Structure 1
């Protein structure tokens, strides 16, 4: 137990340094490498007439900050989902939550073409909530729907259904090229202004997650144990779901659908820090941000000089991990 706590403290202490190095790495590498001296000058002696300075401050810095934020949001969402449902396969992408956000964004683009960034974020949140409601409803109605594999199948079907409708609507209204951004997330197209707007929503979601961390630890022991300890399980689940909806909706609004981060990182975090969600949630957020930012750097080398969608990189790691979990754990609940 002490060793796990020590590992948690090490992660929290070392992560800021790793994040700083990741930021510098991400800014340096790209179609045009930028040296350390230019990066320093861009930060402390910005020259609007210098193209390299413009690239650093208006393209690569927002991109890596967005990747860090999105990775953190998805990892925290996955940790919350796995903890409150005791489902080791739960994650925003597998449970259809991300597809719900894209569905709502598609409707927004078609029927509210002049929508502001705030409206887009709001619609993305509504879509996340819709997908969560659909998956939970079907899981309770269908036999074995609440088992990990059962929920994963229902989530996948729900996500496929929503994405198919999105594709049909976008094709009919001839906006499929714009919508494709949300299905093939490309962080280099991330809007800096949208990142700023997302911060207040993100703070709310993260604060809710941190405040619920102790309750999620108890809830992960099972509903009966949780109720026996006097916990209001329904209230905790509602609040945790709210945090998931906010964080996932923000992630999709920023950069589109990115799979597997919310599945992989919570498992790695639990292995490193134990089962206490007071440590899992903050550590998962840090590790998730670093993971996605480094994956973004890797995506620039896979088919250089062209950009590879970030979802391809996460899928290379996530698909084998997903199959491994099913092979090792079967269809039962996680401990």
Structure 2
């Protein structure tokens, strides 16, 4: 009952936050114009065009990106049994960012489908390096080593991306993109990435039971009949798709995958059969609210959404680290 109430309440909150995203922005559009744009848009009216072509795709992108990052973080935390794990801390976002920096530098005319594929390739490369370095000649994956390896690989790939930006004079474009945000999302780009995210989110719900078993440990999972290696690989592939598509759409937005699963566990418990769908709802809500704040707090100038997440995420990460350290003492 508690889980059902959370999911229903979260879905209602996402719907209301989506309404805020449509009605409020860096420029004021009257409510009647917004409603008219949603019901029967007049494409000769600039305000209605802005709602249909800018705010609409941006709102949908916030829902998908927030859900993707949050679910990716929840799966990583369950598979690695590390409460501090997410796609950003494990270098996956940095890998996608590095691949996109190469695209901007070497193939500036590449279409968006190519950008998405490059993002996937970068995410897969970073994930393979981190996970391979930690699991090489080891039966079990040490969660602490995994985070340390992820941070090291992430910093290295970020430095390479910055070097590429300096050498090819694309610093402004790369900085604008790495700050994170969905300001540049259009219907065409959304149509390219949305199917990947939706399919990966559906697979994550299907895999939620196996993630719950893996969170008990490899020995317990094997005793319950789960093929640990295959299941972990499949889960990481889903994380790669979620992170790669979300980064291609909104940039390497940090802390969503770390914070949202922690918050939803306080409402639905530690069972990943509930944590994963709850993280989907919570991530969408968090991203929507952060984007509305980024658009309106200094209107008409927009604040990078990465700045909003950093204000909340850094203290939250420190609190989580101190909590885990206290639990180990």
Q: Distance in 2 between matches of 1:309 and 1:142?
A: 42
In the alignment, which residue of structure 2 is the partner of 1:314? 309
In the alignment, which residue of structure 2 is the partner of 1:114? 109
SS for the counterpart of 2:64 is: helix
In the alignment, which residue of structure 2 is the partner of 1:35? 30
Residues 1:331 and 1:223: Cα distance change in structure 2 (over 3 Å): farther
1:149-175 deviation line (CA, Å, top 9, x unaligned): 443232122111101111111221122
In the alignment, which residue of structure 1 is the partner of 2:121? 126
1:54-91 deviation line (CA, Å, top 9, x unaligned): 11111111111111110000000000000000011101
Q: Distance in 1 between matches of 2:279 and 2:63?
A: 12
Instruction: Say if 2:167 is the partner of 1:172.
Output: yes
Shift of 1:33: 2.0
Q: Distance in 2 between matches of 1:33 and 1:16?
A: 26
In the alignment, which residue of structure 2 is the partner of 1:256? 251
1:6-62 deviation line (CA, Å, top 9, x unaligned): 221012222332222111111222222223211110011210111110111111111
SS for the counterpart of 1:330 is: helix
In the alignment, which residue of structure 2 is the partner of 1:59? 54
Q: 1:220 aligns with which of 215, 219, 232?
A: 215
Instruction: Say if 2:290 is the partner of 1:288.
Output: no
Shift of 1:218: 0.6
Q: Distance in 1 between matches of 2:144 and 2:317?
A: 11
Instruction: Say if 2:193 is the partner of 1:198.
Output: yes
On the 8 A contact 1:148/1:331 being kept in 2, the answer is no
Q: Distance in 2 between matches of 1:40 and 1:305?
A: 22
In the alignment, which residue of structure 2 is the partner of 1:325? 320
Q: Distance in 1 between matches of 2:92 and 2:53?
A: 30
Instruction: Say if 2:236 is the partner of 1:241.
Output: yes
Shift of 1:331: 8.9
Q: 1:80 aligns with which of 69, 72, 75?
A: 75
1:141-197 deviation line (CA, Å, top 9, x unaligned): 699x95444432321221111011111112211222222233111321223211111
Q: CA RMSD in A?
A: 1.9
Instruction: Say if 2:108 is the partner of 1:95.
Output: no
28-37 or 257-266: which moved more?
28-37
263-272 or 23-32: which moved more?
23-32
Gaps of 5+ in 2: none
Residues 1:302 and 1:43: Cα distance change in structure 2 (over 3 Å): closer
Gaps of 5+ in 1: 1-5
* TM-score (norm: length of structure 1): 0.93
Q: Distance in 2 between matches of 1:141 and 1:202?
A: 30
On the 8 A contact 1:23/1:61 being kept in 2, the answer is no
Q: Distance in 2 between matches of 1:147 and 1:326?
A: 17
Q: Distance in 1 between matches of 2:64 and 2:199?
A: 14
In the alignment, which residue of structure 2 is the partner of 1:14? 9
In the alignment, which residue of structure 1 is the partner of 2:260? 265
On the 8 A contact 2:3/2:267 being kept in 1, the answer is yes
SS for the counterpart of 2:216 is: coil
Shift of 1:93: 1.1
